[in-house]
């Protein structure tokens, strides 16, 4: 199954635009063909003119192609925002609402404070993952089932069925008003002893290095103790994730000109975002990606000091970046 954050999906054909050179050639050909319908001699002269890069007419057509290409890109981005895999922000909120899913509030804000404190909301990738898990109704006891239960913790109603009188079946849904799902970043369930049905559930919290506190683990245990959550043959043990700590240190060399402070700020932000994306159970941090992020940020040459080897984690561990430090030097 394709899972956001773990799989990459190529853009659909509908949003794959042509290159500038291809569009320019098509535009020139269309202009010449249109003129040729009324005057072939003039069309030949215009074609010859447009082959000259120094001509004002050529520059004008190139500008028209740039405007057209920008318009196409804007339209393509609007199309992408209608697709759950790429939608962000309020566009994603509208998409997940199709399945009655809402973005979680991780920390309440304070509008009366000065300055006002904005609430901290669930990030797009986590909300997108819950959206894709919701309609699948994974088989009871499957890995997907356990992950779905952990990520939607307490959002599932406690269902009881009673027959208070003949011919009457009463189904009651009770929801826990104090939800804990917003505190969980990742989770999984792994069968450790098929013979006895022992399943190890590991929980990664959002706070700090991801090691959950006792209260959150107790909430997860209570959830998996319910008869409507776990198959009767499974014996579930809940534990917190183990943090695999590391730091990123590098030297980035740039050409003279750009502000080194701005380059440092941008590079560290990009690397922190990469580290945050890989703070997941079974995640890995690859030096090659660190090089990639720094080069994307404008570095001409990179010396990676830490980590020198890939930081890998088991299904019960998560890589956690304790600090990011990029020294920017000028060539």
pLDDT for residue 35: 92
- Angle, helices 20-36 vs 56-80, to 10°: value is 120
Residue 63 lies in a domain: yes
pLDDT for residue 165: 87
Helix ranges (DSSP H) in 99-246: 124-133, 143-151, 214-224
DSSP structure class, residue 54: T
| Number of helices followed by number of strands (H, E) in the chain | 9, 12
Say if residue 181 is in the same domain as residue 272. no
Cβ–Cβ < 8 Å for 194, 233: no
Say if residue 248 is in the same domain as residue 230. no
Say if residue 193 is in the same domain as residue 142. yes
As given in the structure block, the two tokens for residue 256 are 């003279």
Say if residue 142 is in the same domain as residue 236. yes
144: closest CA among 188, 96, 94?
Answer: 188
Which segments of the chain are extended strands (E)? Answer: 105-107, 120-121, 158-165, 168-174, 184-193, 198-205, 235-240, 242-254, 284-285, 301-306, 311-312, 317-330
Residues with Cβ within 8 Å of 174's Cβ and at least 6 positions away in sequence, in order, are 157, 158, 160
Residues with Cβ within 8 Å of 11's Cβ and at least 6 positions away in sequence, in order, are 80
Residue 215 lies in a domain: yes
Q: Number of structural domains, the chain?
A: 3
Of 65, 80, 95, the residue at which a domain comes to its end is 80
Say if residue 75 is in the same domain as residue 161. no
Residue 125 lies in a domain: no
Say if residue 255 is in the same domain as residue 321. yes
d(CA 47, CA 56): 13
Residue 188 lies in a domain: yes
Question: How many CB atoms neighbour CB 326 within 10 A?
Answer: 25
pLDDT for residue 1: 57
Say if residue 200 is in the same domain as residue 146. yes
Say if residue 232 is in the same domain as residue 259. no
Q: Compute, in degrees rounded to 10, the torsion defined by CA atoms 125, 135, 120, 187.
A: -70
Please, which residues bridge with residue 254 across strands?
A: 330
Residues with Cβ within 8 Å of 285's Cβ and at least 6 positions away in sequence, in order, are 246, 274, 275, 278, 307, 310, 311, 319, 321
Residue 101 lies in a domain: no
pTM equals 0.62
Say if residue 155 is in the same domain as residue 207. yes
Can you give the residue range of the structural domain that contains 234? 137-240
Binned average pLDDT, 10 residues per bin, the chain of 331 residues: 67 84 91 91 90 89 91 91 92 90 85 90 86 72 83 71 85 68 90 89 94 94 86 91 96 83 88 93 94 87 94 96 93 82
* Rounded alpha-carbon distances, angstroms, from residue 32 to 22, 28, 60, 61, 325: 16, 6, 15, 12, 56
Of 63, 80, 97, the residue at which a domain comes to its end is 80
Cβ–Cβ < 8 Å for 174, 192: no
Burial 164-182 (b: 16+ CB within 10 A, else e): eeeeeeeeeeeebeeebbb
Say if residue 231 is in the same domain as residue 249. no
Query: With the C-alpha atoms ordered 277, 282, 287, 289, is the resulting torsion angle positive or negative?
Result: negative
Of 220, 240, 260, the residue at which a domain comes to its end is 240
pLDDT for residue 4: 67
d(CA 308, CA 291): 11
d(CA 186, CA 5): 12
Residue 103 lies in a domain: no
DSSP structure class, residue 7: B
Residue 153 lies in a domain: yes
Say if residue 225 is in the same domain as residue 180. yes
287: closest CA among 254, 255, 246, 327?
Answer: 246
Residue 100 lies in a domain: no
d(CA 13, CA 229): 41
């Amino acid at each position: 199954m394709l899972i956001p954050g773990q799989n990459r999906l190529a853009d659909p054909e509908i949003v794959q635009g042509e290159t500038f050179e291809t569009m320019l050639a098509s535009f020139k050909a269309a202009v010449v063909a249109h003129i040729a319908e009324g005057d072939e001699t003039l069309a030949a002269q215009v074609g010859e003119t447009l082959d000259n890069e120094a001509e004002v007419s050529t520059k004008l057509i190139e500008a028209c192609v740039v405007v057209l290409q920008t318009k196409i890109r804007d339209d393509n981005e609007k199309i992408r925002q209608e697709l759950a895999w790429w939608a962000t922000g309020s566009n994603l909120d509208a998409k997940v609402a199709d399945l009655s899913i809402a973005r979680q509030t991780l920390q309440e804000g304070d509008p009366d404070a000065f300055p006002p404190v904005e609430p901290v909301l669930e990030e797009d990738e986590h909300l997108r993952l819950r959206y894709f898990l919701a309609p699948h109704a994974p088989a009871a006891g499957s890995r997907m089932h356990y992950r779905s239960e952990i990520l939607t913790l307490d959002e599932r109603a406690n269902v009881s069925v009673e027959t208070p009188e003949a011919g009457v079946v009463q189904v009651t849904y009770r929801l826990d008003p104090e939800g804990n799902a917003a505190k969980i970043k990742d989770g999984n369930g792994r069968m450790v002893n098929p013979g006895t049905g022992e399943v190890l559930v590991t929980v990664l919290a959002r706070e700090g290095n991801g090691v959950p506190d006792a209260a959150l683990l107790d909430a997860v245990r209570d959830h998996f103790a319910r008869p409507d959550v776990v198959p009767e043959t499974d014996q579930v043990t809940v534990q917190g994730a183990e943090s695999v700590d590391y730091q990123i240190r590098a030297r980035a060399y740039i050409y003279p000109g750009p502000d080194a402070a701005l380059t440092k700020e941008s590079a560290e932000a990009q690397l922190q975002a990469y580290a945050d994306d890989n703070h997941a159970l079974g995640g890995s941090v690859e030096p090659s990606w660190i090089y990639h992020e720094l080069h994307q940020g404008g570095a001409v040459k990179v010396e990676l000091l830490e980590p020198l080897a890939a930081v890998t984690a088991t299904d019960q561990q998560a890589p956690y970046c304790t600090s990011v430090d990029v020294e920017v030097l000028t060539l």
